[in-house]
Homo-oligomer: A and B are copies of this chain.
C-alpha cells in the first residue's frame, strides 16, 4: 500500500507552499494567484494523481457536502416500496443538479440515540426523514438540536419543523366522495396507527366528506392494523373479521396504505371475492403498485417525485441559510379512477 498523496506532496513537486496548492485547487481567489503558479500546481497534482481528502476538508470547514436519508425499516427497498422509490427519484433528481451527495443511513444502530449521534456527528450537513411517526423520538431530538431537518410525508409533534407533504385531507374527501357518488354508504377505513399523520388526516377528510353528503359518520367502520405487520395471512384474516363483524356489512373499503391494499385485493381475488363486484376499493398514492394491481386500483394520487425534489431543495435552502418559512408545504392530490370501484348494485346513481 503506497503512501497517500497529499497537498504537501503536490506543493513540493510544484515548488510552492501547501497553502498555495489549496488556494489553486479550490479555484478560490484566482485573481490572487499568478497564471504560472496555477498551471504548475495543477500539472503537479495531475502528475501525482492527487485527490483532495474529503474528511480533512469536512473537518476544517464543518461541511460535508452530503445530506442523509434515514431508512425507516430494513425492508425499505423490498416489497417494491414504490412510495419510497418515487420520493427517492425526486431527491436524486434534485441532488444531481447540486454538489451534494446522498448518504443512506442503513447501518444497524442499536437505538435511535446512536443514530442521532451518527447524524449529528457530521456524517452529513442535513437530513431527510421520510414517513415517520409523529412522535418519533429521533425526529424530535433532531429538531430540538436544531439540526437541519426536513420531514417528508409526515408532520412531527413539534413546535418548529419543516415538512413537505400532500393534501391528505383532500385525498380522504376525494376517496369518500367518489364512493358516495357510486352509491356506497357503508364504508370501512382500514389503516395503520393513528400516530401516523397521514392516517388521521385522511380520516378527517373522509369524515368531512360524509358530513358534506349528509351521511352519518357512525356508519364508518375503522380498523387499525399496525404498519409494520407484514404477515399477509394475518392481515387478510383481520380484514375478513372486520368485514364480517360490522353491524352493517361494508360495501366499500378505503385503505390508508397502498401496498396492503394491493396484495389484499389480489388475495381476495384468489379467495373468490370479486373486486369491485363484492367490494369497491380505494387506496392512496397511486404508484405503479396500484396502477398494475389486479384489478388496477382506484387511488388518490400524490406527486411523490415532486415532493422528493421539493424536500431536497428545501433542505439545501436551509443549509444555505436562506430564510424559509417553517411548517408544511402541501402538494395537491387527485383521484385516479380505475377498475376497483363500481356503482353499488341497485343504487341510484346520477
**Set of chain B residues within 8 Å of A102, measured between Cβ atoms:** 103-104, 106
Question: Are the CB atoms of B66 and A103 closer together than 8 Å?
Answer: yes
Give the docked Cα–Cα distance between A160 and B147 (Å).
44
Question: Are the CB atoms of B77 and A121 closer together than 8 Å?
Answer: no
Question: Are the CB atoms of B108 and A97 closer together than 8 Å?
Answer: yes
Give the docked Cα–Cα distance between A123 and B102 (Å).
11
Question: Are the CB atoms of A118 and B54 closer together than 8 Å?
Answer: yes
Give the docked Cα–Cα distance between A106 and B85 (Å).
15
Nearest CB in chain B to that of A105: its residue: B101
CB-CB under 8 A for A89 and B77, given A52-B121, A59-B53, A59-B59: yes
Interface size class of A (residues with CB under 8 A): 35 or more
| Interfacial residues of chain A within 51-68, with CB under 8 A of chain B in the complex | 51-56, 58-59, 62, 64-66, 68
Give the docked Cα–Cα distance between A122 and B101 (Å).
13
Q: Is A78 an interface residue (CB 8 A)?
A: yes
**Set of chain B residues within 8 Å of A95, measured between Cβ atoms:** 104, 106-107
**Set of chain B residues within 8 Å of A159, measured between Cβ atoms:** none
**Set of chain B residues within 8 Å of A288, measured between Cβ atoms:** 80, 288, 292
Question: Are the CB atoms of A55 and B59 closer together than 8 Å?
Answer: yes
**Set of chain B residues within 8 Å of A98, measured between Cβ atoms:** 107-108
Among candidates B59, B78, B85, B105, residue contacting A56 with C-beta atoms closer than 8 Å:
B59
CB-CB under 8 A for A96 and B89, given A53-B122, A55-B59: no
Question: Are the CB atoms of B74 and A117 closer together than 8 Å?
Answer: no
Question: Are the CB atoms of B117 and A51 closer together than 8 Å?
Answer: yes
**Set of chain B residues within 8 Å of A66, measured between Cβ atoms:** 103
CB-CB under 8 A for A145 and B53, given A59-B59, A101-B105, A102-B103: no
Q: How far is the CB of A212 from chain B (nearest CB, A)?
A: 36
Number of identical protomers? 2
**Set of chain B residues within 8 Å of A54, measured between Cβ atoms:** 118, 121-123
Q: How far is the CB of A165 from chain B (nearest CB, A)?
A: 20
Give the docked Cα–Cα distance between A43 and B145 (Å).
19
**Set of chain B residues within 8 Å of A118, measured between Cβ atoms:** 51, 54, 101
Q: Is A76 an interface residue (CB 8 A)?
A: yes
**Set of chain B residues within 8 Å of A59, measured between Cβ atoms:** 53, 55-56, 59
Q: How far is the CB of A132 from chain B (nearest CB, A)?
A: 17
Question: Are the CB atoms of A103 and B103 closer together than 8 Å?
Answer: yes
Supplied contacts A51-B117, A51-B118, A53-B122, 12 more A-B pairs, CB within 8 Å: A49-B145, A54-B123, A55-B56, A55-B122, A77-B89, A77-B92, A78-B89, A80-B85, A80-B288, A95-B107, A101-B104, A101-B123
Residues of A participating in the B interface, judged by any CB pair closer than 8 Å: 4, 49, 51-56, 58-59, 62, 64-66, 68, 71, 74, 76-78, 80, 82, 85, 88-89, 92-93, 95-108, 116-118, 120-123, 145, 288, 292, 305
Q: Would you give 29 A-B contacts (Cβ < 8 Å), ordered by A?
A: A4-B62, A51-B116, A51-B121, A53-B121, A53-B122, A54-B122, A55-B55, A55-B58, A55-B64, A55-B122, A56-B59, A66-B103, A68-B101, A74-B92, A76-B92, A77-B85, A77-B92, A80-B82, A80-B85, A80-B288, A85-B85, A95-B106, A96-B107, A98-B107, A98-B108, A99-B108, A102-B103, A102-B104, A104-B104
Question: Across chains A and B, which 7 residue pairs bring their CB atoms closest together, nearest first?
Answer: A77-B89, A55-B58, A292-B292, A51-B121, A51-B117, A51-B120, A102-B104
